[in-house]
Amino acid sequence: MREPTLAAIIICLLALTKAVGQTAQDNLKITHLTGDFYIFTTYNLYQNSRIPANGTYLVTREGVVLFDTPWDTTQFQPLLDSIRIKHDKNVILSFATHFHEDRTGGLGYYKKLGIKTYTTKKTDLLSKQTGKARAEFLIDQDTTFTIGQYSFQTYFPGHGHTADNIVIWFEKEKILLGGCLIKSVNDNTLGNLADANISEYATTVKNVLKKCRDPKFVIPGHDEWVSTESVNHTLKMAKQLKKGKSKK
């Protein structure tokens, strides 16, 4: 058998390097939203399909704040590294919007690194009951946080996707982080309803509409955020689901 030439070996190594780079890039996508706001997207399997999960981070004078953690456990550290390289700042805070792993998965990892991690008490209770990662600090009620030059509110609108789902509202910037309560306009269903309240879902989304008026950006937990109509789209699907249930 012929020995591989040096040129062939180099070509193979370059191809492998490119493939590894593409894989790493495909597993973590960072997109600029507006100003100091960025969306990070990671992926995992759900019902045999590769599903994107959106989180957000905010660059402040004091450091970077994460809203939700990567769904892909291999991307906990790469996200921190990417933020450090891109902005020359460290992540200092991490919030999770409900107890499912696509939101809380990295809390334990980040807590060990000294990053302050937050969830509501409801989320912590459900995380404890289901063996999910738990935060160091707990939010007892709807709270306004001021980090550097930015302020935002944590808001529990009611039981929808889960009993603990909150949204994050930047009132001044009109940016709504909907988590998995809010679905993308590209979604045809409300997704995972294992812990949902079908009867209350529509009312909960209505509460979001009342609280978070005229958003300029709405970031759903999964898929695209190209439209601010995702809250109304979610409400429409929730009403249809409730109506269908009542007919049974």
Is position 159 annotated as part of the catalytic site? no
State yes or no: is 90 an active-site residue: no
Q: Quick check: is 139 in a domain?
A: yes
CA 202 to chain CA centroid, Å, is: 21
Residue 73: DSSP 8-state: G
Q: Is 32 a catalytic residue?
A: no
Pick the catalytic residue from 54, 68, 161, 164.
161
Q: In this predicted model, what pLDDT tens digit does every residue of 110-126 receive, in sequence order?
A: 999 999 999 999 999 99
Is the pLDDT at 1 greater than 70, yes or no? no
245 phi and psi angles, rounded to 5 deg = -70, -40
Phi-psi region for residue 240, left (φ > 0), alpha (ψ -120 to 50) or beta? alpha
pTM, to two decimals? 0.88
Q: pLDDT tens-digit profile of 60-112?
A: 999 999 999 999 999 999 999 999 999 999 999 999 999 999 999 999 999 99
Residue 140 belongs to a domain: yes
97 located within any domain: yes
Catalytically annotated residue among 36, 72, 102, 164: 102
In a domain, 127, yes or no: yes
pLDDT (average), residues 42-70: 95
CATH number at residue 102: 3.60.15.10
Residue 11 counted as domain residue: no
Per annotation, catalytic residue among 36, 98, 159, 223 = 98
Q: Is 192 a catalytic residue?
A: yes
Catalytic residue (choose from 186, 192, 197, 207): 192
Residue 2: pLDDT over 70: no
pLDDT at 47: 80
Which domain does 67 fall in, by range? 28-247
Mark whether 233 is an active-site residue: no
Residue 14, domain member (yes or no):
no
Angstrom CA distances, 96 to 121, 126, 135, stand at 11, 13, 8
Instruction: Decide if 211 is inside a domain.
Output: yes
Report the sign of the C-alpha dihedral through residues 17, 30, 185, 188, in that order.
positive
Q: How many domains does the chain have?
A: 1
Q: For residue 7, what pLDDT is reported? A: 46
Residues 100, 159, 222, 233: which is the catalytic one?
100
Q: Alpha helix locations (H) across 28-131?
A: 76-87, 101-104, 107-112, 121-130
Confidence at residue 26, expressed as pLDDT on a 0 to 100 scale: 84
Q: Is residue 154 part of a domain?
A: yes
